Amino acid sequence: MEHATAVHPPVAHHVEHAPELGFWWKYVFSTDHKVIGIQYAITGLLFLLFGFTLMAIMRWQLAYPGQPVPVIGAWLGAGNASGGVILPEFYNQLGAMHGTIMVFMGVVPLAVGGFGNFVMPLQIGAPDMAFPRINMASYWAYFVGGVVMLASFFVPGGAANSGWTSYVPLAVTATTGQTWWLLGMVFLITSSLLGSLNFIVTIFQLRAPGLTFMRLPIFVWMQLVTAYLLLLAFPPLEAAAILQLMDRVAGTSFFLPSGLVVSGQVVQISGGGNPLLWQHLFWFLAHPEVYVLILPGMGIVAEVLANNIRKPLWGYKPIVYSVVFLGFMSFVVWAHHMFLTGMGTTMSAFFQTTTMIISIPSVIILTSLFLSLWGASIRFTTPMLFALAFLPMFGIGGLTGLPLGLAPTDIHLHDTYYVIGHFHYVVAPGTLFALFAGIYYWFPKATGRYMNDLLGKIHFWGSFVAINIVFFPMFIQGLAGMNRRLYDGGIQYAHAQETAKLHVPMGYATFALWFFQLFFIVNFFWSIKKGRQAPQNAWDATTLEWSAPSPPPHGNFPEPPVVYRDPYEYSVPGHPADFTPQFQSDKKA
Amino acid sequence: MDIPYTVTARPDTGLFNGKLGIWLFLASEVMLFGALFSSYVLLRVGAETWPRGETILNVWMAFLNTVVLISSSVTMVLAWAALKTNQFQKSRWLLISTFLLATVFLVVKYFEYTEKFSHGLLPSTNTFLAIYFTLTGLHGLHVVGGMIVMAYLFGPGAKMFRIAPERFTNRVEITGLYWHFVDLVWIFLFPVLYLL
Ligand code: HEM
Ligand SMILES: [Cu+2]
């Protein structure tokens, strides 16, 4: 070989290396799963920041109804905020778009498109996703969907304003923004369809030799179940979106009942439609969707936890069986969002029962993770702090879900701030903290450098305190009967007077939370160039991604990896190091 | 860099990547049309009156279209079988025939639609027509999607047969699976909308 190279150097060179790709092909229209993962992650993070900012504006209005928004109030446009004071119509747009952006364009793209794309193929020892070009198409469909959603703020009447749930008939009679919302959703659904089938095929087909299903890292299991949920639950929402689009554009009445009256006028339609049909189709997606929001986060927490307790996770098998069971069950609980729609007792009993059953696997998973901490000598790294905080935060979120799953209590709590508190505990200090843990944890793999620990810890403690001040009072407000989606925070209702005062500290905490994200943003960009250099196996971890160079080249592994053991062999007695990677054969050990 | 199992089957799953991919895609399509069929059932059960399809729609045209689509499924299978025995030209003609049959289907559909429109029967007229236009329209889009893929396979994509015959054969097989699904949806739509 050396001889040949010496004789024909240019030819040999050409054969071995693909030509260097230009900037556009390398970073923009890349088919490399790692680049696509980072594209997804960064776009998702930007949307999270944007969606958070929308909410910060709303929080001002709730804390100080009718007072001009400071600093940015003047830029919101007279049609949205006259003299800097938010108008009710604009408040509704902010709310609807906050939910849509956070769920469909922030958390899921970051958790699935970002982490799933970047980490999963590495963890199963694959050179890339099974369909690299479909992967790229998935990102670009998401991107176009995002642009459509953002553009909708500038159409007459502004963005969608009927809530992220787009309940009918309200949404059908709403301004043009709703049509854009539906089109945007069609793109986002297409994106997730392309992504999810790619994930499933990759996990089934491209696992490295020796990597059996019961040796998969928990993160991969979580991504697999998530992909199934996306694949099978999103199409009904697509169907619903098509029907709503027909109602809005072609004048059909799928969701419009006969004799519908809007603003005192009988609407000229054929009628005969069923508004509840929308709710069924929507929640048939949207309940599995909440598991899409949580499972990747749980997977990240499991990885980070296992790495920092330096012993095997407690209950690998129960966790795996639970998540598969949970995946199935999540298709038969949707109507617990609809207890107040007048369903009969049989239906209601059915959905209460399934909801109670589905909380069992969640509890098993959470308990296993908690028990894993027992007797461990924990490394309190920044990712570990976020992962540890996830456990009680998700615990609060999950436990507060139980009273919502029982009709007698839900009748009081439905559509109050209690529900908002419930799901934000699961998604914000739950999933978002898990996602931060993942960023701090895999950053060295993506860049070859650690993120700064001090900045990371300030980010963690600041966010942890602030986020609890934002969300905990919601339970109190909700129990006191304060409704969600009220423009003035409920001050015109006698029963809400007392708890409406809580909006003020909640508002301040929101701005503090925003402030503490600056530590993360600075840390992120600073560490890319200046962070402490990390070795290939930055955390002395056991899973396959740590056997690839940092950052991994196109194709990931110089040698196709082989797997010899279970994913979390930490502190195995008789082994020299306190970790035995999956890719280490017994002969070498 | 090569992705494993793009052509040959992985021993433990028994599938090549594309085949698993198309089955998953079809599973999601089942959910899409399943949701629409369920909506149809719910709306119909809740309706005070519901016209019988044959009183509004043209059953004979739809029957003709059923025959056309089933034939196109047959030519599709034959195109794949021909490739398996290395008869590239024959396969190409069979693909083109499938494409032409699909065109016939759309043309018939076009006449059906325009006939309805000219009588003032629109999606907004009543819920039955709304469902009819939505379901057949969506199905029509699926037909168009299939035709685009076929055109690629007998057009610019055909040169793959010379470089990687097995991979090309797989592509035809996958397209075929999709096409049978499109056919199957129609076989559901026909009785549900026209006869019941
Ligand atoms: C662990 C057991 C859980 C139970 C028993 C449960 C139960 C419920 C119920 C019954 C509701 C409807 C309340 C109402 O509208 O009156 C609800 C709302 C919600 N839950 Fe959960 N939940 C659980 C976990 C989760 C998880 C893991 C997430 C993930 C992010 C989540 C996200 C949501 C969201 C987003 C809503 C509100 C949707 C809306 O109306 O806008 N929940 N939950
Ligand atoms: Cu739910």
Tell me the domain boundaries of chain B: 17-195
- Which domains are present in chain A? 27-255+270-547 (1.20.210.10)
Q: Do residue B1 and residue A554 have CB atoms under 8 angstroms apart?
A: yes
Distance from C-alpha of A329 to C-alpha of A480, rounded to nearest angstrom:
32
Task: Compute the average pLDDT of residues A482-505.
Answer: 90
Query: Which ligand is the nearest neighbour of the Cα of A339?
Result: 1
Probe ligand 1: pick from A419, A420, A471, max atoms within 8 Å of CB?
A419
Q: What is the pTM of this model?
A: 0.94
Q: Do residue A274 and residue B36 have CB atoms under 8 angstroms apart?
A: no
Query: Which ligand is the nearest neighbour of the Cα of A111?
Result: 1
Q: Do residue A243 and residue B134 have CB atoms under 8 angstroms apart?
A: yes
CATH superfamily of B17-195: Cytochrome c oxidase, subunit III, four-helix bundle (1.20.120.80)
| Minimum CA–CA partner of A204 in chain B | B13
> Which pLDDT does position A23 carry in this prediction?
78
Task: Compute the average pLDDT of residues B35-43.
Answer: 96
User: Which of the four pLDDT bands, split at 50, 70 and 90, describes residue A77?
Assistant: confident
- A168 and B CB contact within 8 Å: no
Distance from C-alpha of A6 to C-alpha of A170, rounded to nearest angstrom:
75
Q: What's chain B's average pLDDT?
A: 96
The answer to whether the Cα torsion of A154, A155, A161, A163 is positive or negative is negative
> Which pLDDT does position A9 carry in this prediction?
37
The pLDDT tens digits of the residues spanning B40-66 come to 999 999 998 899 999 999 999 999 999
β-bridge pairing A261-262 and A265-266: antiparallel
Distance from C-alpha of A355 to C-alpha of A349, rounded to nearest angstrom:
10
* R_g over Cα of chain A: 25
> Which pLDDT does position B2 carry in this prediction?
85
Distance from C-alpha of A354 to C-alpha of A294, rounded to nearest angstrom:
19
B89 exposure class (CB count in 10 Å sphere: 0-12, 13-18, 19+): exposed
Task: Compute the average pLDDT of residues A296-300.
Answer: 98
CA–centroid distance, A478 to ligand 2, in Å, is 18
> Which pLDDT does position A2 carry in this prediction?
37
Cis preceding-peptide flag for A392 (omega within 30 of 0): no
Chain A positions in Cβ-Cβ contact with residue B138 (cut-off 8 Å): 242
Q: Do residue B35 and residue A284 have CB atoms under 8 angstroms apart?
A: yes
Distance from C-alpha of A295 to C-alpha of A362, rounded to nearest angstrom:
10
A106: Cβ contacts below 8 Å, ≥ 6 apart: A44, A45, A47, A48, A51
The pLDDT tens digits of the residues spanning A331-368 come to 999 999 999 999 999 999 999 999 999 999 999 999 99
User: Which of the four pLDDT bands, split at 50, 70 and 90, describes residue A161?
Assistant: very high
The pLDDT tens digits of the residues spanning A96-150 come to 999 999 999 999 999 999 999 999 999 999 999 999 999 999 999 999 999 999 9
Probe ligand 1: pick from A55, A290, A416, max atoms within 8 Å of CB?
A290
Protein residue closest via CA to atom 35 of ligand 1: A423
Task: Compute the average pLDDT of residues A568-580.
Answer: 92
